[in-house]
Structure 1
Amino acid sequence: MKKRILSYTFFAVVILVVSVTLLVIRQKGPRELQVSIYNQWNELFVHEVSGKKKVFINTKGTKKGNVSLSEAQGYGMLIATEQTHTDSNKSQEMFDKLDAYYLSNRDAGTNLMSWKQVISHNGKRIKKYHNNATDGDLYIAYSLIRAAKKWPQKAPYYKKQAKAILEDILKYNYNSSTGSLMVGNWAKGTKYANLLRTSDVLPAQFEEFYHFTGDKVWLSIKDKMLSNLVELSKKHKTGLIPDMAWIKKDGSVTSVGKKSHFGKYNRYYYYNACRLPYNLSQSNDSKSRLVLRKMMKFFMSRENIAGGYTLSGQQLSNYQSASFGAPIFYAAKDSKKYNKLTQLEKYIFMQKLEVNNYYQSALVTLASEKFFKN
């Protein structure tokens, strides 16, 4: 009886959320909501370096200053290329300031961005950390290619930068033994060279890099890293994939263990792997679709999207998380068979972006492109 009451209560809440969502959309209009999300993103997370015409994405504030990450900068640059509702010149100005910050914070001797910087509160001092994080540079390179298409008058400049980044990713972040990208240049020559961060698998972007450079290594990387995901997907009925996995000498892959250097949750579907529905849904590759379909089937069996899962499908939390829901919504919007997920996750676009949750806000802002696209 108790379970039945809870089920009825949940159903009533879902109906209420959907009704309120539809009412808000009718009152404000999709375009106005999209503008609101982008404006919130710009206001909360885009910060200018004092007097230098450079802007960074502020992931959090500390006593020592604000913190920016290369991943954040990549997201920020990508979001800037998507802001079609604003004047194109203003969008490009924003993009160029983000780009200028990236250029001034590259890892020594490379075109890869320092993975982390701490900016003093007055914006006059920046502490730059050594080494890069692969995902950040992948996003930055992709955003530059998009910028070249959107603002052709400056295309040669953007293309030159994108080419330089992609060459250095292959030079410093590619493991020819595994055929996959490493998590960062610091992993080269260590046991972590065989560590796979599953959120680094960007099949649509890898294909774009191939068309941009003509280098077939990018197609090889796409195929190999997707094959790794397929193998991980087959290990569990849920199709869920861990944040991180080891690539063994024989080429097989397995989730990291309980004593992972990167935290106890990295063997689960957590805050890295939650990006996979967003990443995979952008690709038409058969392996991408295979992995995505199995994951989406699991999520269709859920009554809500929780903040993390074991690979067998047990919830790691009792709260709903937009960090997990936004990528799933993005993937669900492509097919009517996932209408349940589309309706369940619409609520995230009605809420204010959380100032203390950069990561979630970035994923919601990126997913909003699909939400408002007819």
Structure 2
Amino acid sequence: MAALIALLLLGLPACAAQDDDWSRYRTRYIDGGRVLDTGNRDVSHSEGQGWGMLLAEANGDRQTFDRLWNWTRQHLLRPDIALFSWRYDPSSSPPVQDTNNATDGDLLIAWALLRAAQRWDSDDYRAASAKIRQAIAARLVREYAGLAVLLPGLDGFEQNDQLILNPSYLVMPAIRAFAEVEPQAAWRRLLDDGQTLLERARFGHYRLPPDWLALRADGTLQPAAAWPARFGFDAVRVPLYLAWDGSPPGSASLRPFADFWACCEQPHAWVDLRSGELSPYPASTGVRAIAVLIGEGSALIAFPEKAENEDYYSMSLLLLARLAQRERTP
């Protein structure tokens, strides 16, 4: 953990750093209205569009917000329902080859629009958010094994005797925000049952959630068989969203993540929840930022001077961790 502490920028005012780093992020990872996944041949995802919109709103950057939103609805919005195709590849023809959605992207976009409606008093943003929320609630929330759960997408996740879930798609602060504006809808139940699911879906020595999870009809949980049984690339977002939603450092919900990242001299990128095998390489800067967010201190990792060496995912996690710290602090 000593190497992690050495990366911290102590005493940095969170708001000032956010503004400056947002400008650098925008220059490096946003092309017009499209967020570039620089670690994946510059494709774009609904997730990245939602994150970009959140960061633009948080920084009061309406021009960039509108560019991102306009591009997203022009290129990813499905014609049949207010959900978004999950991937755009400019090297393919057509660029959208798979129209299935990714529910975390839909949640993030709806949340960004709701926040933007509140910041800029826009009925258009408010109506767009409501329409997406309605589609999510109607098509992607399921009652299964006594729990309200969130399907990761419209197609491919409902099997005969189980559902396949992604714990990191439970964007808890977004769901809480939806419950506040629509108290009569299913959001409060989804929030409460999502918390229950995240408490139960813990495996391995460190008691961590997997990237992909199988929920059987009898209520039993196990890492989904079609993916490596890892706490890794996806599930690192679980503690980010829990902390953003108000779970304090040292809480029972966050302690297992903190213990895992503190286990070694440098935080690991993943751990196999069955064998205990650790990644042969360290966690990215963005994951390290989440480790700091859920720790006991108040410092945050600095945006790297050479951001070109960091991919979009890592830097998005970094800025989101900074935003989460700022918004959860009274």
TM-score by length of 1: 0.76
Determine if the alignment matches structure 1 residue 308 to structure 2 residue 270: yes
How far 1:203 moved relative to its partner? 2.5
1:191-210 matches, cutoff 5 A:
191=160, 194-210=163-179
Give CA-to-partner distance per residue, 1:292-314, whole Å, 9 cap, x none: 23332443444321111123754
Amino acid at match of 2:43: V
1:1-80 matches, cutoff 5 A:
17=7, 21-22=9-10, 33-48=17-32, 55-60=33-38, 66-80=42-56
Unaligned runs of 5+ in 1: 1-9, 49-54, 333-337
SS at 1:74 equivalent: helix
How far apart in 2 are the matches of 1:15 and 1:227? 32
Do the aligned partners of 1:243 and 1:271 also contact (CA within 8 Å) in 2?
Answer: yes
Do the aligned partners of 1:45 and 1:355 also contact (CA within 8 Å) in 2?
Answer: no
How far apart in 2 are the matches of 1:16 and 1:289? 25
How far apart in 2 are the matches of 1:329 and 1:15? 9
Determine if the alignment matches structure 1 residue 250 to structure 2 residue 218: yes
Determine if the alignment matches structure 1 residue 172 to structure 2 residue 172: no
Do the aligned partners of 1:228 and 1:252 also contact (CA within 8 Å) in 2?
Answer: no
Amino acid at match of 2:87: K
How far 1:325 moved relative to its partner? 1.4
User: Whose RCO is larger (CA < 8 A, sep 6+)?
Assistant: 2
Partner in structure 2 of residue 360 of structure 1: 314
Aligned mate of 2:233, from 271, 287, 297:
271
How far 1:81 moved relative to its partner? 0.9
Go from structure 1 to structure 2 and tell me whether the alpha carbon gap of 1:158 and 1:192 turns closer, same or farther (over 3 Å shift).
farther
How far 1:231 moved relative to its partner? 1.2
Amino acid at match of 1:59: D
1:305-344 matches, cutoff 5 A:
305-311=267-273, 314-332=277-295, 338-339=296-297
Determine if the alignment matches structure 1 residue 135 to structure 2 residue 135: no
How far apart in 2 are the matches of 1:276 and 1:348? 22
How far 1:365 moved relative to its partner? 1.6
Do the aligned partners of 2:161 and 2:217 also contact (CA within 8 Å) in 1?
Answer: no
How far apart in 1 are the matches of 2:205 and 2:177? 32
Do the aligned partners of 1:17 and 1:347 also contact (CA within 8 Å) in 2?
Answer: yes
How far apart in 2 are the matches of 1:184 and 1:15? 38
Determine if the alignment matches structure 1 residue 184 to structure 2 residue 165: no
TM-score by length of 2: 0.85
Partner in structure 1 of residue 81 of structure 2: 110
How far apart in 2 are the matches of 1:295 and 1:61? 25
Give the percent of matched residue pairs that are identical in Structure 1 and Structure 2: 22
Do the aligned partners of 1:107 and 1:131 also contact (CA within 8 Å) in 2?
Answer: no
Give CA-to-partner distance per residue, 1:205-262, whole Å, 9 cap, x none: 21211112233411111222221211123x44522111111001112211123xx1xx
How far apart in 1 are the matches of 2:73 and 2:7? 44
Go from structure 1 to structure 2 and tell me whether the alpha carbon gap of 1:69 and 1:193 turns closer, same or farther (over 3 Å shift).
farther
Partner in structure 2 of residue 335 of structure 1: none
SS at 2:253 equivalent: helix
Higher helix content, 1 or 2: 1
How far apart in 2 are the matches of 1:15 and 1:174? 40
How far 1:47 moved relative to its partner? 1.0
Amino acid at match of 1:172: R
SS at 1:107 equivalent: coil
The worse-fitting range, judged by mean Cα deviation, of 363-372 and 184-193 is 184-193
Do the aligned partners of 1:113 and 1:132 also contact (CA within 8 Å) in 2?
Answer: yes
Query: If you compute each CA radius of gyration, which structure gives the higher value, 1 or 2?
Result: 1
SS at 2:273 equivalent: coil
Do the aligned partners of 1:34 and 1:372 also contact (CA within 8 Å) in 2?
Answer: no
Unaligned runs of 5+ in 2: none
How far 1:322 moved relative to its partner? 1.9
How far 1:140 moved relative to its partner? 0.4
Aligned mate of 1:99, from 55, 60, 69:
69
Question: Which 4+ residue blocks in structure 1 deviate beyond 6 angstroms?
Answer: 371-374
Partner in structure 2 of residue 145 of structure 1: 114
